Amino acid sequence: MSDTALPQVVIVGAGPAGIRAAEALVAAGIRPLMIDEGSRAGGQIYRQPPDERQRSKKSLYGFEAGKAAALHARFAQLLPSIDYRPDTLVWNCTPGQLDLLHAQRHVEQPYTHLILCTGALDRVMPFPGWILPGVYTLGAAQVALKAQACVLNGRMVIAGSGPLLYLLAYQYVKAGANVVAVLDTARLHDKLRGFPSLLRQPVTLAKGLYFIAWLRSKGIRLLDSVQAIAASGDQQISRLRWQRHGKTTDIDCDALATGFGLRSETQLADLAGCEFAFDTLNQQWLPTSDADGRSSVEGIYLAGDGHGIAGADAAELSGRAAALALLQDLQPSRFGTGDALATQAQLRQARASNIRFRQGLETTFPTPVHWARHCPDETIICRCEEITAGQLRHSVAQDGTREINRLKALTRVGMGRCQGRVCGAAAAEILSHASQQEVAAVGRLRGQAPIKPIPVSVALAALAQGNPNHAKDGQE
Protein backbone atom coordinates (compact mmCIF):
# COMPACT_ATOMS: atom_id res chain seq x y z
CA MET A 1 0.00 0.00 0.00
CA SER A 2 1.51 3.39 -0.94
CA ASP A 3 1.97 5.97 1.83
CA THR A 4 -0.35 8.46 0.16
CA ALA A 5 -3.18 5.93 0.26
CA LEU A 6 -2.72 5.04 3.91
CA PRO A 7 -6.18 4.65 5.44
CA GLN A 8 -6.90 4.90 9.16
CA VAL A 9 -8.67 1.61 9.78
CA VAL A 10 -10.14 1.17 13.25
CA ILE A 11 -11.43 -2.15 14.56
CA VAL A 12 -13.70 -1.94 17.60
CA GLY A 13 -13.57 -5.22 19.53
CA ALA A 14 -10.72 -7.64 20.14
CA GLY A 15 -12.83 -10.79 20.15
CA PRO A 16 -12.70 -13.58 17.56
CA ALA A 17 -14.14 -11.33 14.82
CA GLY A 18 -11.84 -8.39 15.52
CA ILE A 19 -8.69 -10.51 15.73
CA ARG A 20 -9.36 -12.25 12.41
CA ALA A 21 -10.15 -8.89 10.80
CA ALA A 22 -6.84 -7.51 12.05
CA GLU A 23 -5.02 -10.58 10.78
CA ALA A 24 -6.35 -10.09 7.23
CA LEU A 25 -5.52 -6.37 7.25
CA VAL A 26 -1.99 -6.93 8.53
CA ALA A 27 -1.42 -9.55 5.82
CA ALA A 28 -2.34 -6.86 3.26
CA GLY A 29 0.14 -4.37 4.73
CA ILE A 30 -2.29 -2.26 6.77
CA ARG A 31 -1.65 -1.41 10.41
CA PRO A 32 -5.09 -1.20 12.01
CA LEU A 33 -5.93 0.44 15.28
CA MET A 34 -7.75 -2.05 17.51
CA ILE A 35 -9.76 -0.76 20.45
CA ASP A 36 -11.34 -2.80 23.22
CA GLU A 37 -12.79 -1.82 26.55
CA GLY A 38 -11.44 -5.05 28.06
CA SER A 39 -7.93 -5.37 29.42
CA ARG A 40 -7.00 -8.41 27.37
CA ALA A 41 -7.89 -9.67 23.92
CA GLY A 42 -10.15 -12.67 23.32
CA GLY A 43 -13.67 -11.25 23.55
CA GLN A 44 -16.39 -13.00 25.51
CA ILE A 45 -15.82 -16.65 24.73
CA TYR A 46 -12.03 -16.53 24.89
CA ARG A 47 -11.87 -13.98 27.69
CA GLN A 48 -8.48 -14.02 29.43
CA PRO A 49 -8.08 -13.54 33.16
CA PRO A 50 -5.57 -11.06 34.57
CA ASP A 51 -2.05 -12.41 35.20
CA GLU A 52 -2.59 -12.94 38.92
CA ARG A 53 -5.64 -15.15 38.28
CA GLN A 54 -4.35 -17.31 35.45
CA ARG A 55 -5.70 -20.85 35.10
CA SER A 56 -4.96 -23.46 32.47
CA LYS A 57 -6.67 -23.01 29.09
CA LYS A 58 -8.28 -26.43 29.60
CA SER A 59 -9.94 -25.39 32.84
CA LEU A 60 -10.98 -22.00 31.41
CA TYR A 61 -12.28 -23.00 28.00
CA GLY A 62 -12.91 -26.77 28.20
CA PHE A 63 -13.46 -28.23 24.72
CA GLU A 64 -12.62 -24.86 23.17
CA ALA A 65 -9.15 -24.68 24.77
CA GLY A 66 -7.39 -25.42 21.46
CA LYS A 67 -9.28 -22.67 19.61
CA ALA A 68 -8.69 -20.22 22.45
CA ALA A 69 -4.96 -20.99 22.49
CA ALA A 70 -4.73 -20.57 18.70
CA LEU A 71 -6.53 -17.22 18.73
CA HIS A 72 -4.54 -15.85 21.67
CA ALA A 73 -1.27 -16.96 20.03
CA ARG A 74 -2.27 -15.33 16.74
CA PHE A 75 -3.10 -12.13 18.54
CA ALA A 76 0.32 -12.13 20.26
CA GLN A 77 1.98 -12.52 16.83
CA LEU A 78 -0.08 -9.63 15.45
CA LEU A 79 0.72 -7.23 18.29
CA PRO A 80 3.86 -5.67 16.74
CA SER A 81 1.88 -4.98 13.54
CA ILE A 82 -1.21 -3.37 15.06
CA ASP A 83 -1.89 -0.39 17.29
CA TYR A 84 -3.74 -2.05 20.18
CA ARG A 85 -5.59 0.01 22.76
CA PRO A 86 -7.09 -2.08 25.57
CA ASP A 87 -9.06 -0.58 28.47
CA THR A 88 -10.58 1.90 26.05
CA LEU A 89 -14.32 2.40 25.59
CA VAL A 90 -15.71 3.74 22.33
CA TRP A 91 -18.67 5.73 23.64
CA ASN A 92 -19.67 7.65 20.54
CA CYS A 93 -19.35 7.30 16.78
CA THR A 94 -19.91 10.13 14.32
CA PRO A 95 -18.87 10.34 10.67
CA GLY A 96 -15.07 10.03 10.59
CA GLN A 97 -14.62 10.18 14.35
CA LEU A 98 -14.87 8.04 17.46
CA ASP A 99 -14.99 9.36 21.00
CA LEU A 100 -13.02 7.26 23.43
CA LEU A 101 -12.74 6.96 27.17
CA HIS A 102 -9.27 5.88 28.24
CA ALA A 103 -7.78 6.22 31.74
CA GLN A 104 -10.64 8.56 32.70
CA ARG A 105 -9.75 10.89 29.81
CA HIS A 106 -11.49 11.85 26.61
CA VAL A 107 -9.72 11.02 23.34
CA GLU A 108 -10.92 11.82 19.82
CA GLN A 109 -10.02 9.19 17.26
CA PRO A 110 -10.44 9.86 13.55
CA TYR A 111 -11.06 7.00 11.13
CA THR A 112 -11.44 6.50 7.43
CA HIS A 113 -12.68 2.92 7.75
CA LEU A 114 -14.30 1.19 10.67
CA ILE A 115 -14.89 -2.49 11.38
CA LEU A 116 -17.38 -2.92 14.19
CA CYS A 117 -16.90 -6.23 16.03
CA THR A 118 -18.75 -5.32 19.18
CA GLY A 119 -20.19 -8.73 20.08
CA ALA A 120 -23.26 -9.39 22.19
CA LEU A 121 -24.70 -9.36 25.67
CA ASP A 122 -27.24 -11.51 27.52
CA ARG A 123 -30.89 -11.27 26.56
CA VAL A 124 -32.74 -10.49 29.78
CA MET A 125 -36.39 -11.35 30.45
CA PRO A 126 -38.08 -9.77 33.45
CA PHE A 127 -39.81 -11.94 36.06
CA PRO A 128 -40.80 -11.24 39.65
CA GLY A 129 -37.64 -10.79 41.71
CA TRP A 130 -35.21 -10.55 38.79
CA ILE A 131 -33.56 -7.45 40.23
CA LEU A 132 -32.95 -8.95 43.70
CA PRO A 133 -29.31 -9.11 44.83
CA GLY A 134 -28.01 -12.59 44.10
CA VAL A 135 -29.64 -12.75 40.66
CA TYR A 136 -27.07 -12.55 37.85
CA THR A 137 -27.09 -13.02 34.11
CA LEU A 138 -25.50 -16.18 32.75
CA GLY A 139 -22.84 -14.00 31.12
CA ALA A 140 -22.01 -12.20 34.36
CA ALA A 141 -21.73 -15.53 36.18
CA GLN A 142 -19.37 -16.75 33.47
CA VAL A 143 -17.29 -13.56 33.54
CA ALA A 144 -16.86 -14.06 37.32
CA LEU A 145 -15.47 -17.51 36.62
CA LYS A 146 -13.27 -16.64 33.63
CA ALA A 147 -11.99 -13.22 34.65
CA GLN A 148 -12.08 -13.35 38.43
CA ALA A 149 -11.66 -17.09 39.02
CA CYS A 150 -14.60 -17.20 41.42
CA VAL A 151 -18.08 -18.74 41.42
CA LEU A 152 -21.37 -17.49 42.83
CA ASN A 153 -21.59 -18.56 46.44
CA GLY A 154 -24.00 -21.01 48.04
CA ARG A 155 -26.83 -23.00 46.47
CA MET A 156 -27.11 -21.86 42.93
CA VAL A 157 -29.88 -22.28 40.34
CA ILE A 158 -29.30 -21.73 36.63
CA ALA A 159 -32.45 -20.86 34.68
CA GLY A 160 -33.49 -19.62 31.27
CA SER A 161 -33.06 -20.72 27.74
CA GLY A 162 -30.22 -21.48 25.33
CA PRO A 163 -27.12 -23.65 25.19
CA LEU A 164 -25.17 -21.34 27.55
CA LEU A 165 -27.40 -22.70 30.34
CA TYR A 166 -25.80 -26.16 30.22
CA LEU A 167 -22.32 -24.87 29.41
CA LEU A 168 -22.35 -22.59 32.45
CA ALA A 169 -23.71 -25.35 34.69
CA TYR A 170 -20.93 -27.67 33.49
CA GLN A 171 -18.25 -25.00 34.01
CA TYR A 172 -19.59 -24.10 37.45
CA VAL A 173 -19.89 -27.67 38.72
CA LYS A 174 -16.38 -28.40 37.42
CA ALA A 175 -15.14 -25.34 39.31
CA GLY A 176 -16.67 -26.70 42.53
CA ALA A 177 -19.87 -24.61 42.67
CA ASN A 178 -23.00 -25.96 44.35
CA VAL A 179 -25.43 -26.01 41.40
CA VAL A 180 -28.73 -27.38 42.71
CA ALA A 181 -30.86 -27.16 39.56
CA VAL A 182 -30.84 -26.20 35.90
CA LEU A 183 -34.27 -24.96 34.79
CA ASP A 184 -34.78 -24.80 31.05
CA THR A 185 -37.80 -22.96 29.66
CA ALA A 186 -37.64 -24.88 26.36
CA ARG A 187 -40.06 -27.79 26.04
CA LEU A 188 -39.19 -31.32 24.97
CA HIS A 189 -41.34 -30.63 21.92
CA ASP A 190 -39.09 -27.65 20.97
CA LYS A 191 -36.00 -29.78 21.33
CA LEU A 192 -37.35 -32.55 19.15
CA ARG A 193 -38.31 -30.00 16.48
CA GLY A 194 -34.89 -28.36 16.53
CA PHE A 195 -32.87 -31.57 16.67
CA PRO A 196 -32.60 -32.27 12.90
CA SER A 197 -31.14 -28.79 12.26
CA LEU A 198 -28.60 -29.29 15.05
CA LEU A 199 -27.29 -32.38 13.25
CA ARG A 200 -25.68 -29.92 10.79
CA GLN A 201 -22.90 -29.44 13.35
CA PRO A 202 -22.60 -32.87 14.95
CA VAL A 203 -19.50 -32.01 16.98
CA THR A 204 -21.16 -28.98 18.59
CA LEU A 205 -24.31 -31.03 19.20
CA ALA A 206 -22.26 -33.83 20.76
CA LYS A 207 -20.61 -31.35 23.15
CA GLY A 208 -24.03 -30.09 24.26
CA LEU A 209 -25.33 -33.63 24.82
CA TYR A 210 -22.17 -34.45 26.74
CA PHE A 211 -22.71 -31.49 29.11
CA ILE A 212 -26.26 -32.66 29.80
CA ALA A 213 -25.25 -36.29 30.36
CA TRP A 214 -22.33 -35.22 32.58
CA LEU A 215 -24.57 -32.98 34.71
CA ARG A 216 -27.08 -35.83 35.09
CA SER A 217 -24.31 -38.19 36.11
CA LYS A 218 -23.42 -35.74 38.91
CA GLY A 219 -27.00 -35.82 40.16
CA ILE A 220 -27.82 -32.24 39.15
CA ARG A 221 -31.56 -31.66 38.75
CA LEU A 222 -32.25 -30.80 35.09
CA LEU A 223 -35.78 -29.79 34.15
CA ASP A 224 -37.25 -28.60 30.87
CA SER A 225 -40.65 -26.90 30.21
CA VAL A 226 -40.17 -24.59 33.19
CA GLN A 227 -42.49 -21.58 33.29
CA ALA A 228 -43.25 -18.56 35.44
CA ILE A 229 -40.17 -18.43 37.59
CA ALA A 230 -40.30 -15.97 40.49
CA ALA A 231 -37.46 -15.12 42.87
CA SER A 232 -38.08 -13.91 46.40
CA GLY A 233 -36.13 -13.02 49.54
CA ASP A 234 -35.65 -10.14 51.99
CA GLN A 235 -32.20 -8.71 51.37
CA GLN A 236 -31.37 -11.04 48.51
CA ILE A 237 -32.74 -14.07 46.72
CA SER A 238 -33.46 -16.95 49.09
CA ARG A 239 -36.16 -18.84 47.22
CA LEU A 240 -37.15 -19.58 43.66
CA ARG A 241 -40.60 -20.70 42.54
CA TRP A 242 -41.55 -22.09 39.15
CA GLN A 243 -44.32 -23.92 37.38
CA ARG A 244 -43.98 -27.02 35.30
CA HIS A 245 -46.81 -29.01 33.74
CA GLY A 246 -49.29 -27.18 36.00
CA LYS A 247 -47.41 -27.93 39.23
CA THR A 248 -45.76 -25.23 41.39
CA THR A 249 -42.40 -25.98 42.99
CA ASP A 250 -40.22 -23.97 45.40
CA ILE A 251 -36.55 -24.34 46.07
CA ASP A 252 -34.28 -22.60 48.58
CA CYS A 253 -31.25 -21.02 46.95
CA ASP A 254 -28.63 -18.31 47.44
CA ALA A 255 -27.94 -17.33 43.83
CA LEU A 256 -29.62 -17.47 40.45
CA ALA A 257 -27.94 -17.14 37.06
CA THR A 258 -30.42 -16.47 34.32
CA GLY A 259 -30.37 -15.69 30.60
CA PHE A 260 -32.37 -16.18 27.41
CA GLY A 261 -29.87 -16.20 24.60
CA LEU A 262 -27.92 -13.19 23.40
CA ARG A 263 -28.55 -9.79 21.81
CA SER A 264 -26.21 -8.04 19.43
CA GLU A 265 -24.48 -4.85 20.61
CA THR A 266 -25.52 -2.46 17.86
CA GLN A 267 -25.28 1.02 19.39
CA LEU A 268 -22.15 2.17 17.53
CA ALA A 269 -23.58 1.09 14.17
CA ASP A 270 -26.69 3.06 15.08
CA LEU A 271 -24.75 6.23 15.97
CA ALA A 272 -22.73 5.80 12.77
CA GLY A 273 -25.98 6.09 10.81
CA CYS A 274 -26.18 2.50 9.53
CA GLU A 275 -29.55 1.32 8.25
CA PHE A 276 -31.38 -1.17 10.45
CA ALA A 277 -34.01 -3.83 9.75
CA PHE A 278 -35.95 -6.09 12.08
CA ASP A 279 -34.45 -9.58 12.06
CA THR A 280 -36.93 -12.31 12.91
CA LEU A 281 -34.27 -14.93 13.70
CA ASN A 282 -32.58 -12.70 16.27
CA GLN A 283 -35.87 -11.01 17.29
CA GLN A 284 -33.96 -7.75 17.21
CA TRP A 285 -33.32 -4.71 15.00
CA LEU A 286 -29.94 -5.24 13.37
CA PRO A 287 -27.75 -3.10 11.13
CA THR A 288 -28.10 -4.35 7.58
CA SER A 289 -25.11 -5.50 5.59
CA ASP A 290 -24.20 -7.39 2.46
CA ALA A 291 -22.94 -10.98 2.76
CA ASP A 292 -19.39 -9.75 3.44
CA GLY A 293 -20.26 -7.24 6.15
CA ARG A 294 -20.47 -3.93 4.23
CA SER A 295 -22.96 -1.76 6.10
CA SER A 296 -25.18 0.80 4.41
CA VAL A 297 -22.61 3.50 5.29
CA GLU A 298 -19.56 3.65 3.07
CA GLY A 299 -16.38 2.71 4.95
CA ILE A 300 -18.19 0.99 7.83
CA TYR A 301 -18.12 -2.80 8.07
CA LEU A 302 -19.83 -5.18 10.48
CA ALA A 303 -18.58 -8.52 11.78
CA GLY A 304 -19.22 -11.11 14.47
CA ASP A 305 -22.09 -11.37 16.90
CA GLY A 306 -22.58 -7.58 16.76
CA HIS A 307 -24.60 -7.99 13.58
CA GLY A 308 -26.52 -11.15 14.41
CA ILE A 309 -25.70 -13.99 16.79
CA ALA A 310 -23.94 -16.83 15.01
CA GLY A 311 -21.26 -17.99 17.47
CA ALA A 312 -17.52 -17.72 17.77
CA ASP A 313 -16.54 -19.74 14.68
CA ALA A 314 -18.83 -17.64 12.49
CA ALA A 315 -17.43 -14.51 14.15
CA GLU A 316 -13.91 -15.46 13.06
CA LEU A 317 -15.15 -16.05 9.50
CA SER A 318 -17.08 -12.80 9.33
CA GLY A 319 -14.18 -10.79 10.76
CA ARG A 320 -12.00 -12.02 7.97
CA ALA A 321 -14.73 -11.47 5.36
CA ALA A 322 -15.31 -7.87 6.50
CA ALA A 323 -11.59 -7.11 6.31
CA LEU A 324 -11.43 -8.61 2.80
CA ALA A 325 -14.43 -6.52 1.76
CA LEU A 326 -12.70 -3.41 3.08
CA LEU A 327 -9.53 -4.29 1.18
CA GLN A 328 -11.52 -4.85 -2.01
CA ASP A 329 -13.16 -1.46 -1.65
CA LEU A 330 -9.75 0.16 -1.09
CA GLN A 331 -7.91 -1.61 -3.88
CA PRO A 332 -10.26 -3.45 -6.24
CA SER A 333 -7.43 -4.23 -8.67
CA ARG A 334 -5.49 -6.13 -6.02
CA PHE A 335 -8.18 -7.66 -3.83
CA GLY A 336 -11.18 -7.86 -6.14
CA THR A 337 -9.87 -10.75 -8.19
CA GLY A 338 -8.95 -14.45 -8.26
CA ASP A 339 -7.90 -15.92 -4.92
CA ALA A 340 -9.41 -13.15 -2.81
CA LEU A 341 -12.83 -13.65 -4.40
CA ALA A 342 -12.63 -17.42 -3.99
CA THR A 343 -11.70 -17.02 -0.32
CA GLN A 344 -14.60 -14.69 0.18
CA ALA A 345 -17.03 -17.14 -1.42
CA GLN A 346 -15.80 -19.88 0.93
CA LEU A 347 -16.20 -17.63 3.95
CA ARG A 348 -19.76 -16.79 2.91
CA GLN A 349 -20.65 -20.44 2.52
CA ALA A 350 -19.16 -21.42 5.89
CA ARG A 351 -20.93 -18.56 7.66
CA ALA A 352 -24.25 -19.41 6.01
CA SER A 353 -23.93 -22.93 7.40
CA ASN A 354 -23.30 -21.50 10.89
CA ILE A 355 -26.39 -19.35 10.57
CA ARG A 356 -28.52 -22.37 9.60
CA PHE A 357 -27.29 -24.09 12.75
CA ARG A 358 -28.24 -20.98 14.69
CA GLN A 359 -31.77 -21.28 13.28
CA GLY A 360 -31.88 -24.78 14.74
CA LEU A 361 -30.79 -23.43 18.12
CA GLU A 362 -33.59 -20.85 18.06
CA THR A 363 -36.14 -23.63 17.43
CA THR A 364 -34.63 -25.75 20.18
CA PHE A 365 -34.40 -22.94 22.73
CA PRO A 366 -37.08 -20.36 21.87
CA THR A 367 -37.00 -17.17 23.90
CA PRO A 368 -40.12 -17.10 26.10
CA VAL A 369 -41.13 -13.60 25.01
CA HIS A 370 -44.58 -14.13 26.53
CA TRP A 371 -42.90 -13.77 29.95
CA ALA A 372 -42.48 -10.07 29.24
CA ARG A 373 -45.90 -9.70 27.62
CA HIS A 374 -47.72 -11.25 30.57
CA CYS A 375 -45.47 -10.33 33.49
CA PRO A 376 -47.31 -8.86 36.51
CA ASP A 377 -47.90 -5.09 36.45
CA GLU A 378 -45.67 -4.53 39.48
CA THR A 379 -42.60 -6.15 37.87
CA ILE A 380 -39.80 -3.67 37.24
CA ILE A 381 -38.80 -3.66 33.57
CA CYS A 382 -36.30 -0.79 33.49
CA ARG A 383 -34.19 -1.15 36.61
CA CYS A 384 -32.18 2.03 35.92
CA GLU A 385 -35.30 4.22 36.05
CA GLU A 386 -37.46 1.82 38.10
CA ILE A 387 -40.25 1.65 35.54
CA THR A 388 -42.77 -1.17 35.96
CA ALA A 389 -44.67 -3.20 33.40
CA GLY A 390 -47.86 -1.58 34.71
CA GLN A 391 -46.54 1.93 33.95
CA LEU A 392 -45.77 0.90 30.38
CA ARG A 393 -49.23 -0.63 29.92
CA HIS A 394 -50.81 2.45 31.48
CA SER A 395 -49.06 4.66 28.92
CA VAL A 396 -50.50 2.56 26.10
CA ALA A 397 -54.00 2.64 27.58
CA GLN A 398 -53.91 6.29 28.69
CA ASP A 399 -51.81 8.04 26.04
CA GLY A 400 -52.37 5.68 23.13
CA THR A 401 -48.61 5.07 22.89
CA ARG A 402 -47.70 2.81 19.99
CA GLU A 403 -44.05 3.57 19.31
CA ILE A 404 -41.07 2.63 21.50
CA ASN A 405 -39.28 6.02 21.46
CA ARG A 406 -42.54 7.71 22.41
CA LEU A 407 -42.91 5.20 25.25
CA LYS A 408 -39.37 6.10 26.33
CA ALA A 409 -40.15 9.82 26.25
CA LEU A 410 -43.34 9.39 28.26
CA THR A 411 -42.18 6.85 30.85
CA ARG A 412 -38.33 7.10 30.82
CA VAL A 413 -38.04 3.36 30.06
CA GLY A 414 -34.59 2.75 28.55
CA MET A 415 -33.37 6.23 29.44
CA GLY A 416 -30.96 5.22 32.19
CA ARG A 417 -27.42 3.93 32.36
CA CYS A 418 -28.00 0.89 30.15
CA GLN A 419 -29.68 2.98 27.44
CA GLY A 420 -32.19 0.18 26.88
CA ARG A 421 -29.58 -2.50 26.22
CA VAL A 422 -31.03 -4.58 29.07
CA CYS A 423 -34.70 -3.56 29.22
CA GLY A 424 -35.35 -2.55 25.59
CA ALA A 425 -36.39 -5.98 24.34
CA ALA A 426 -38.86 -6.57 27.17
CA ALA A 427 -40.29 -3.05 26.88
CA ALA A 428 -40.88 -3.60 23.15
CA GLU A 429 -42.66 -6.92 23.85
CA ILE A 430 -44.93 -5.28 26.43
CA LEU A 431 -45.70 -2.38 24.10
CA SER A 432 -46.39 -4.70 21.19
CA HIS A 433 -48.73 -6.86 23.24
CA ALA A 434 -50.53 -3.95 24.92
CA SER A 435 -50.98 -2.06 21.63
CA GLN A 436 -51.79 -5.22 19.65
CA GLN A 437 -49.07 -4.83 17.06
CA GLU A 438 -46.22 -7.02 15.90
CA VAL A 439 -43.05 -6.31 17.87
CA ALA A 440 -41.32 -5.08 14.70
CA ALA A 441 -44.07 -2.46 14.30
CA VAL A 442 -43.29 -0.68 17.59
CA GLY A 443 -39.96 0.47 16.17
CA ARG A 444 -36.47 0.58 17.55
CA LEU A 445 -35.00 2.50 20.46
CA ARG A 446 -32.72 5.11 18.90
CA GLY A 447 -29.13 5.02 20.15
CA GLN A 448 -27.75 7.91 22.15
CA ALA A 449 -24.21 8.76 23.13
CA PRO A 450 -22.68 7.93 25.50
CA ILE A 451 -23.58 4.30 24.82
CA LYS A 452 -22.24 3.35 28.26
CA PRO A 453 -21.77 5.51 31.34
CA ILE A 454 -18.78 7.88 31.24
CA PRO A 455 -17.53 10.46 33.74
CA VAL A 456 -19.18 13.86 33.37
CA SER A 457 -15.69 15.39 32.99
CA VAL A 458 -15.16 13.29 29.85
CA ALA A 459 -18.48 14.36 28.34
CA LEU A 460 -17.66 18.00 29.10
CA ALA A 461 -14.21 17.62 27.55
CA ALA A 462 -15.84 16.19 24.43
CA LEU A 463 -18.24 19.11 24.22
CA ALA A 464 -15.42 21.59 24.79
CA GLN A 465 -13.48 20.12 21.88
CA GLY A 466 -16.42 21.12 19.77
CA ASN A 467 -17.26 18.18 17.52
CA PRO A 468 -20.44 19.58 15.93
CA ASN A 469 -21.98 16.11 16.11
CA HIS A 470 -21.94 16.14 19.90
CA ALA A 471 -24.59 18.79 20.06
CA LYS A 472 -27.14 16.52 18.46
CA ASP A 473 -26.23 13.61 20.77
CA GLY A 474 -28.00 15.58 23.38
CA GLN A 475 -26.90 13.86 26.59
CA GLU A 476 -24.81 15.15 29.42
89 lines the binding site for ligand FAD (CB under 6 A): yes
Residue 312 lies near ligand FAD (rule: CB under 6 A): yes
CB 473 within 8 A of CB 449: yes
Task: Name 384's Cβ contacts closer than 8 Å, sequence gap at least 6.
Answer: 415, 416, 417, 418, 423
Of 13-21, 75-83, 437-445, 455-463, the window that binds ligand FAD (rule: CB under 6 A) is 13-21
Indicate if the alpha-carbon torsion angle 206, 211, 212, 213 is positive or negative: positive
- One of 9, 44, 78, 162 touching ligand FAD (CB under 6 A): 44
- State in angstroms the smallest separation of the CB of 67 from ligand FAD: 10
- 14 lines the binding site for ligand FAD (CB under 6 A): yes
The interface region with ligand FAD, picked from 42-50, 151-159, 172-180, 288-296 by CB under 6 A, is 42-50
User: 93 forms bridges with which residues in the sheet?
Assistant: 98
**Taking contact as CB under 6 A, which single stretch among the options 173-181, 280-288, 309-317, 378-386 is the one that binds ligand FAD?**
309-317
Nearest CA to 91 out of 413, 471, 464, 470 is that of 470
Based on CB atoms, which residue is closest to ligand FAD, 15 or 126? 15
Binding mask 427-466 for ligand FAD (x = CB under 6 A): ------------------------x---------------
Residue number, 18 or 420, with CB nearest to ligand FAD: 18
Is 424 a binding residue for ligand FAD by CB under 6 A? The answer is: no
Angle at 92 between CA 91 and CA 97, to 5 degrees: 125
Three-state DSSP at 411 gives helix
Residue 193: φ, ψ to 5°: -65, -40
Binding mask 263-292 for ligand FAD (x = CB under 6 A): --x--x------------------------
Site string for ligand FAD, 214-253 (x = CB under 6 A): ----------------------------------------
For residue 119, state whether it binds ligand FAD (rule: CB under 6 A): yes
Buried b / exposed e over 365-394, threshold 16 CB at 10 Å, is bbbbbebbbebeeebbbbbbbebbbebbbb
Orientation of helix 164-174 relative to helix 202-217, angle to 10°: 50
Q: Are 132 and 233 in contact (CB under 8 A)?
A: yes
Does the footprint of ligand FAD cover residue 160 (CB under 6 A)?
no
Among 32, 43, 129, 443, binds ligand FAD (CB under 6 A): 43
* 304 touches ligand FAD (CB under 6 A): yes
Residue 230 or 361: the one with the smaller Cβ distance to ligand FAD is 361
Residues 212-243: b if buried by 16+ CB within 10 A, e if exposed = beebeeeebeeebbbebbbbebeeebbebebe
CA pair distance 170, 217, nearest whole angstrom: 11
Give CA–CA dist 118/282, Å, rounded. Answer: 16
Which parts of this chain interact with ligand FAD (CB under 6 A)?
A: 12-18, 35-38, 43-45, 89-90, 117-121, 139, 142, 167, 262, 265, 268, 304-306, 311-312, 315, 451
